[in-house]
Every structure is written in C-alpha cells, then in structure tokens.
A = this chain, B = another copy of it.
Amino acid sequence: MENLADKKKAILESTLELIKENGFHGTPMSLVAKQAGVAAGTIYHYFDSKDTLICQLFQYLRNQLLAVVRNSDVPGKPYQERFYDLWKSLCSFYTGNPNVLVFFEQFINSPYNKKRLEAGPDPFHQLIFSFLEEGVESGYLRPVNPEILGVLLHGSIVSTAKTYKFGNVQLGEADLEQIRQILWDGMAAKKNC
C-alpha cells in the first residue's frame, strides 16, 4: 500500500495540489495529466473516472492520517500526555499539509461523502472514538458520550489548523499549547471543583 506505482502516486499528488489551487471544480483531467507528467489516457489506466480518482485520493490521504495517529500514541504514557500527543500530531499534520485539510473539507461537504457515510464508520473515526472511550472509562475524562468528546476534539483541531495557515492571525507554539489546555480542562473529569 505504501509503494504505489510511481505514476499512480504522481497522479494522486497532482490532483491534490490542483484541487487546493483551483478548487474542486476547475481541475480538469488534462491539467492533472500535465502536472503529473503523464498522458491523459494514462489516468484512465489507473482510475475508472474522475469520480473514482477523487474518492481514491480521499482514501489515500485518510490512510496517511490514520498512520499519523497510530504512530503518535505511546501506550505507556499517562493519559493526559497521550491526549496532548494526539492533539499535537493531528494538528501538525494538518498545518504541515494544508492542502490535505482543504481537500478533506471539500470532500466531506460534497455529495461524494454520502456514499462514504453509508459504508459505515471508518477506521480513523473508530480509533479516536476508542481512545476517548478509554479516557472516560478510566475516569480521566468526564462521563460523557465519547462521540461528543470526539466532536470537540476534532473541531478544535480543524479550526486551529485553519486559523494557523489561512487566518490573518498567526498562532505560535504557545497559542497552540493554550488551546490544547483549554480543551483538556473542559473535557477532563473534575476532581476538586
């Protein structure tokens, strides 16, 4: 899965790049071909249609995201640190790959996503969910539906990454730390209040 054929990978990366630049529409196959350094016909050797190209691009990037999350988790550490690590690694993945974030947002709010939702929960979602569930059961997090905690966690990361890259305001490391802290303080079980 990692060492995709060079051409196929080039096509996927070019599509990502162009969608960031020109938007979801306004990215003709001819441009994808040119940017990837292949002929138009070659794309159709690897992908049935533009639609499947876009859907497979989503899968491809989603797997990268999953790998990032998996690698960031060190089971031995205390829960709060693992929480911080998770937040940080996700956030830095998005800020380091802003075109991925843009593509995700476009994809998820497009009709393409309908089919995906009908296909059931994806591994990324499940991973986050079970991590939060563990936190609740161990008493580190408030006794709240982990789905809700996931909403807050993910929302804060996406929002932060967007502001970081696109906003007029520049957020520094200290700011990111604060956001993480505020989120934790809200979600953590209150011991002495």
Residues of B within 8 A of A183 (CB): 152, 186
Which of the residues B23, B163, B182 comes within 8 Å of A110, measured between beta carbons? B23
Interface flag for A3 (CB, 8 Å): no
Copies per complex? 2
Interface flag for A71 (CB, 8 Å): no
CB A115 to nearest CB in B, in angstroms, measures 13
Residues of B within 8 A of A142 (CB): 182
B159 with A152: CB separation less than 8 A: yes
B166 with A156: CB separation less than 8 A: no
Which of A111, A142, A160, A187: most chain B CB closer than 10 A?
Answer: A111
Residues of B within 8 A of A192 (CB): 193
How far apart are the CA atoms of A102 and B105 in the complex, in Å? 10
Interface flag for A13 (CB, 8 Å): no
Look across to chain B and name the residue whose beta carbon is closest to the beta carbon of A191: B193
Interface flag for A151 (CB, 8 Å): yes
Q: Say which size band chain A's interface belongs to.
A: 35 or more
Residues of B within 8 A of A81 (CB): none
Which of the residues B23, B151, B152, B175 comes within 8 Å of A148, measured between beta carbons? B175
**Would you list the 3 A-B pairs with minimal beta carbon distance, nearest first?**
A186-B186, A155-B159, A25-B25
| Other contacts beyond A151-B163, A152-B179, A152-B183: 16, CB < 8 A | A23-B110, A23-B111, A105-B108, A105-B109, A106-B106, A145-B175, A147-B169, A151-B160, A152-B156, A152-B159, A152-B182, A154-B159, A155-B157, A155-B159, A185-B190, A192-B193
User: B-contacting residues of A (Cβ < 8 Å)?
Assistant: 21-26, 102, 105-106, 108-112, 117, 121, 142, 144-145, 147-149, 151-152, 154-160, 163, 166-169, 171, 175, 178-179, 182-187, 190, 192-193
**5 interchain pairs, CB-CB under 8 A:** A147-B169, A152-B159, A182-B187, A185-B185, A192-B193
